[in-house]
């Protein structure tokens, strides 16, 4: 089975081509490019340079979120377009799961974190065991402090901190969790290779979807939502006070 996988969920963009788990080609850029301008040239070039045609691809895999609003939409709609034309199946991969699949060569816990702004991170935990990736938590948005508290539970294991939120987390609680290690730069960010590996498993588990069914995965930020509602209430109260003063 040949997989074309792409990722545009955050600042990097990457494209990978795999045949039965063998990595035939991969492009990765991380210089704040505009993905809408770089993604398709990367797809076109990986096919051209490997001499493989789009018809030879059996499965199109994409990191469908969490991630940046614009980035996720660029990736998902590109794959939607390609599979709409070819009628091939799609895999909507969790960006965090793709990160875990970039590194199942040791045993321990993968803590995949993406910076969601407002002191929040998108996160999921996975257990790596003899080459297997097992999900421990759902993808969720939580505060850095909440994540730290949860990780204390896994102190006995080596914890691999990875993703574009790894740095801020490591700075925040790296000192208090000795079993925490930062992943090296070559696997720190989400890569389309991990997307393809996660998609292979999804294919085994019959979790693929059609072009029509492919949708972005967005996570809500509960704390941010509460703060905004409070701000809204304060603002309304202020407006009422101002109106009151004007009437006096």
Partner 1 sequence: MGKKTNLQTFYSQSEQQTEQIAEKLAHTLQGTEMIAMFGGLGAGKTAFTRGLARGLGIDDGVSSPTFALVHEYEGRYMLYHFDMYRIGSYDDLYSTGFFDYQGQGVMIIEWSENIEPFLPEERINITIKRISDNEREIIIEGAEKL
In the bound complex, what is the minimum distance in angstroms from residue 40's beta carbon to partner 1? 19
HSE-up of residue 137 (Cα within 13 Å, Cβ side): 18
Closest to partner 1 by CB, 71 vs 89, is 71
In the bound complex, what is the minimum distance in angstroms from residue 222's beta carbon to partner 1? 9
Give the Cα separation of 141 and 154 in Å (integer). 19
Closest to partner 1 by CB, 70 vs 186, is 70
Residues that bind partner 1 (CB under 8 A): 32, 68-71, 116-118, 218, 220-221, 224-225, 227-228, 230-232, 235
In the bound complex, what is the minimum distance in angstroms from residue 68's beta carbon to partner 1? 5
The backbone torsions φ and ψ at residue 15, rounded to the nearest 5 degrees and listed phi first, read: -140, 135
In the bound complex, what is the minimum distance in angstroms from residue 228's beta carbon to partner 1? 5
Give the Cα separation of 37 and 209 in Å (integer). 26
Structure tokens at 184: 């090296």
Angle, helices 166-173 vs 144-151, to 10°: value is 70
Closest to partner 1 by CB, 206 vs 247, is 247
Closest to partner 1 by CB, 69 vs 153, is 69
Tell me the H-state helices in 87-184: 95-100, 144-151, 166-173
Give percent helix, percent strand, percent coil of the chain, each to the nearest 5.
Answer: 40, 25, 30
Q: Using CA atoms in the order 202, 64, 220, 239, what is the torsion angle rounded to 10 degrees?
A: -170
- Coil/strand/helix, residue 146: helix
Closest to partner 1 by CB, 53 vs 245, is 245
In the bound complex, what is the minimum distance in angstroms from residue 218's beta carbon to partner 1? 7
Closest to partner 1 by CB, 38 vs 158, is 38
In the bound complex, what is the minimum distance in angstroms from residue 192's beta carbon to partner 1? 20
Asked if 127 contacts 109 with a C-beta cutoff of 8 angstroms, the reply is: yes
């Amino acid at each position: 089975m040949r997989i074309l996988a792409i990722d545009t969920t955050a600042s990097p963009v990457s494209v990978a081509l795999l045949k039965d788990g063998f990595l035939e080609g991969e492009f990765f850029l991380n210089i704040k490019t505009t993905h809408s301008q770089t993604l398709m040239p990367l797809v076109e070039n990986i096919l051209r340079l490997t001499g493989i045609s789009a018809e030879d691809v059996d499965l199109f895999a994409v990191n469908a979120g969490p991630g940046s609003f614009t980035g996720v939409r660029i990736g998902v709609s590109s794959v939607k377009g390609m599979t709409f034309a070819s009628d091939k199946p799609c895999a909507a991969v969790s960006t965090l799961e793709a990160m875990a699949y970039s590194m199942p060569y040791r045993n321990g816990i993968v803590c995949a974190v993406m910076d969601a702004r407002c002191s929040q991170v998108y996160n999921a935990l996975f257990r790596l065991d003899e080459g297997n990736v097992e999900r421990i938590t759902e993808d969720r948005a939580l505060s850095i402090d909440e994540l730290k508290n949860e990780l204390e539970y896994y102190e006995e294991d080596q914890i691999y901190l990875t993703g574009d939120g790894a740095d801020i987390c490591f700075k925040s609680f790296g000192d208090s969790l000795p079993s925490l290690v930062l992943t090296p730069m070559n696997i720190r960010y989400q890569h389309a290779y991990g997307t393809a590996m996660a998609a292979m498993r999804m294919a085994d588990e019959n979790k693929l979807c059609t072009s029509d069914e492919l949708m972005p995965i967005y996570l809500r930020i509960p704390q941010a939502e509460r703060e905004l509602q409070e701000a809204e209430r304060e603002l309304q109260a202020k407006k009422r006070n101002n109106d009151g003063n004007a009437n006096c």
